[in-house]
Amino acid sequence: MRIIPFLLSVAATIGLVYTLNIQLSVNGGKTPKLGYLLSPQKGFWQNAEPTNTSFDEAMISDNLQGNSEVYLDDRLVPHIYATNEHDAYFIQGYLHAKFRLWQMEFQTNAAGGRLSEIMGDSSNGTNFHNIDKFFRRLGMVYGAENTLKAMEQDSGLKAACDAYTDGVNAYINSLDESSYPFEFKLLDYKPEPWTNLRTALLAKYMAWDLAGFEQDFEMTNARSIFTKEQFEALYPYQADSLDPVNPRGTVFPKRGADIIPPTLADSAYLIFKEAATAFTDIKPDYDNGSNNWAIDSSKSKSKRPILCNDPHLNLNLPSIWYEMQISAPGLNVYGASLPGAPCIVIGFNDSCAWGVTNAERDVRDYYEITFKDSTRQEYMFDSTWYTTTFRQEIIKIKGKPDDTLQIPMTVWGPVMYDTSFPDKLHTGKAYAVKWMAHEESDELKTFYQLNKAKNFEDYKSAINTYKCPGQNFAFATKNGDIALRQQGKFPAKWRRQGDFVMPGSDSTFAWRGYVPDSLNFTMHNPARGFVSSANQYPYDTSYPYYLGGKYPLYRGILINRLLTNMHDATVDSMQQMQNNNYNLFAEMARPVLLRFMYDNTLSGDEQKYLDTFKAWNLRNDAASEATTIFNLWWDSLKVIVYGDELGQSQLPLVMPQKSTLLESMIKDSVKLFADDINTTEKETIADDVNAAFKKIIPEVKLMDEEDRLAWGKFKNSGVLHLLKIPSLSRLNLFAGGGEDIINAYKQYNGPSWKMIVELTDDINAYAIYPGGQSGNPGSKYYDAFIDDYIAGRYYKLLFTDKATLQKQTTLKGKITFSKSRQTT
């Protein structure tokens, strides 16, 4: 033996293996374990799914009760034919895990404040530890625990959740190092057992996405800059052009004593031009929203109702939705499911169809807490010192010691900000958060029941316990009913309650109970022949309660206009409508802008681009250059009009909505903020409009020269992987649509599932989503639908029985589920 060379060589080997078996820090991020990742037998190569792979499989589990079959159609959509309901949910869990396990884990880890466990405390400039603290202190886990209690009180739903969880775990238990989903290998961690709590966390994730948007701190700041008159002019309650979900003219009962503002509100709360404030910097997308509508037999060619729904969310890969059919005795449902939860969320069964849009209402408020001292053991409430309880939550951090949070709990809810988790602006104050999503509630039960609904009564009873996030549930049946109901538990608020941070030591600022259920509208077979919602205000100002929140305007107006004029509608008319790129806002804004333009002062280039704008067909099509000009012009105008007012504060403020500016321009009202308060001249709105236009021309000209002016190029749409890794995303998609357009496709946010269901005897349904059924980036099914989605195409949904499906020649696989081997 040659000792020294041997030792050196062994040391080199071990050193090499060691280095390849750890994550290295590079440029503020961590590398994968390269040796593992690149290993042909264990690493990512095992996720490189053969393109002609067959998904045939025989799954055996003691947790099953009978023998069931699943057929995967040509798009890899599973059709479950289970012999009993328990097995149906077990199989749904198994399939979700088989095709989307990493996504399910990652999203619920994000909701539960557990990202630093996976990502480390920070990576590539993202502070995951802080994000985790944010979600923990917001009470996501607290809310999920309450939701779990409600879920498990209902025996039918508990059984479904347990079966679902068993199915997920059956799949997880079948995995080894080589078969982990790709992202686990990339980030170097392992799947852990699924629990019903994770399903509850997913519900909170949706609540966060859809009822988590608020601007309380920015508005509190605005109140300190503006007078009451200015504030009302910049941030008005409802717009003139509003076409509410519930048509105007409804008579409501008079306001009750419950919504009279506290006596102190004027002096202590509705104070303008005072007070410092805090700021939250993590928000769901402002444009999360949706469209849904249903027409009745009087408007359709087939004389049957047609229901449409397209929920607008962040467009991600793996896609938020997973398409499937679930059938078992007493259950036969098809639609979009959420990986991580049992049931179909948006879809149809053999009797009816339903779809949802967000109610948008403000159900999250902040209360300033006065602690007795820095120990935070006691806080002031109605002139008494109350004892704080503490919720202990542990954040595990990859490669670092745990961080144990002591979250103070008050009568309002968890204290989100205090000195141990300062708000971004370090006001040094403490703020508790009160949020509807904290309450014990059982949203999943609604979908569980809707999946089996047969008629309007079933629909009403399915949704009547639904609390948060508030939704507009559209509904249609084969026997001709259409309906729309806004459902949710909403606080009964006095005007402006919760728009600003409230004093937490005074019980009169509390929510005074809830809006009575009877005042959530239900429209059932209205005379106009259709129901629709597009996140606009549900009511006009005759509604006795304050709604809060933020509401887009123009999609709703256009949808109602199109549906009013529609007759002999078909699935094709509905496809065209969901893909409609008409810009109603521009229709209203263009004549106003042109009215203010001084035509004779324009240079050659300016005239040329103004002519482009004048000749615009008002459609946000991908190739449209005028759309880009209009959007730049309007943004430039907003900055010129409001920039000086908003510039009075270094702290964040809210840019007024586009409808606010447009309506004040139409009325030429005194509410215009045309004059630049920083100059001695007195600017008019015409000056602003011309200046805003001239300002954008150099940029427009440059983009024109570089062939980047088309709206589809300027908007630069994409579908982002959840980790935002470019090569796992689909980027640079040339697509039309945009904000306020029925086809609400912005850059990374838009229709996440487009569904059309015609309720004929054999249901005639179409849908598409921007993703693919497989969550594996190494599968050809990963992003398979995106090109068709961009082209505005749909797939006919195969909602059928086992015998018909077995005959399909393009099946991608058959999975059998059985209790024991003998019976396969």
Partner 1 sequence: MKFFIAILLTALLGHAAPLYFPWWSFAVTSFIVGLFIHQKAGLAFVSGFFGIFLLFTVHTLVLDYMNDHILAAKVAAILKVGTSSITVILLSAFIGGLVSAFAAMSGSFARGKAK
List residues binding partner 1 (CB under 8 A). 1-2, 5-6, 9-10, 12-13, 16-17, 20-21, 34-52, 177, 182, 186, 725-728, 777-780, 782
Residue with smaller CB distance to partner 1, 263 or 727: 727
- For 435, the enclosing helix (H) or strand (E) is strand 430-435
Q: How far is the CB of 3 from partner 1 (least distance, A)?
A: 8
Q: For residue 717, with 0-12 CB atoms within 10 Å meaning exposed, 13-18 middle and 19 or more buried, which class applies? A: buried
Instruction: Give the nearest distance from C-beta 305 to partner 1 in angstroms.
Output: 41
- Cα 359 to Cα 472: distance, rounded to the nearest angstrom: 6
**Closest CB to partner 1 among 8 and 264?**
8
> Which is closer to partner 1, CB of 194 or CB of 781?
781
Residue closer to partner 1, measured from CB, 49 or 683: 49
Shortest distance in whole angstroms from residue 733 CB to partner 1? 17
For residue 397, give the H/E element and its range: strand 389-397
**CA proximity to 728, closest of 777, 774, 789, 776:** 777
Q: How far is the CB of 612 from partner 1 (least distance, A)?
A: 37
Q: Give the whole-angstrom CA distance, residue 145 versus residue 158.
A: 14
User: What's the rounded Cα separation, in Å, for the pair 744 and 556?
Assistant: 12
Q: How far is CA 51 from the centre of its chain?
A: 32
Least distance CB 785 / partner 1 (angstroms) = 16
- Residue 728 backbone phi and psi in degrees, to 5: -95, 0
Is residue 365 annotated as involved in ligand binding? yes
Minimum distance between the CB of residue 813 and partner 1, rounded to whole angstroms? 16
Q: Are 732 and 748 in contact (CB under 8 A)?
A: no
Residue number with CB closer to partner 1 (614 or 724)? 724
Is 162 annotated for ligand binding?
A: no
Of the pair 43, 750, the CB lying nearest partner 1 is at 43
Angle of helix 443-450 versus helix 155-173 axis, rounded to 10: 90
Q: What is the DSSP string of 684-705?
A: -HHHHHHHHHHHHHHHHHHHHH
The type of residue at 568 is: D
Counting DSSP H helices and E strands in the chain, the numbers are: 23, 33
Residue positions annotated with a catalytic role: 290
Nearer to partner 1, 52 or 375 (CB): 52
Percent helix, percent strand, percent coil in the chain, to nearest 5? 35, 20, 45
Partners of 333 in the β-ladder:
326, 349
Sheet holding 502-503, edge to edge: 415-417, 430-435, 364-369, 502-503
Kindly give, in sequence order, each residue whose CB lies less than 8 Å from that of residue 192, ignoring residues fewer than 6 positions away.
105, 172
Taking the complex as a whole, how short is the minimal distance between the CB of residue 822 and partner 1, in angstroms? 29
**8 A C-beta contact, residue 67 and residue 143:** no
Q: How far is CA 119 from CA 101, 123, 308, 394, 612, in A?
A: 17, 7, 39, 16, 48
Q: How far is the CB of 49 from partner 1 (least distance, A)?
A: 6
Helix, strand or coil, per DSSP, at residue 216 = helix
Cite the annotated binding site for Ca(2+) by residue number: 362, 365
Cite the annotated binding site by residue number: 362, 365
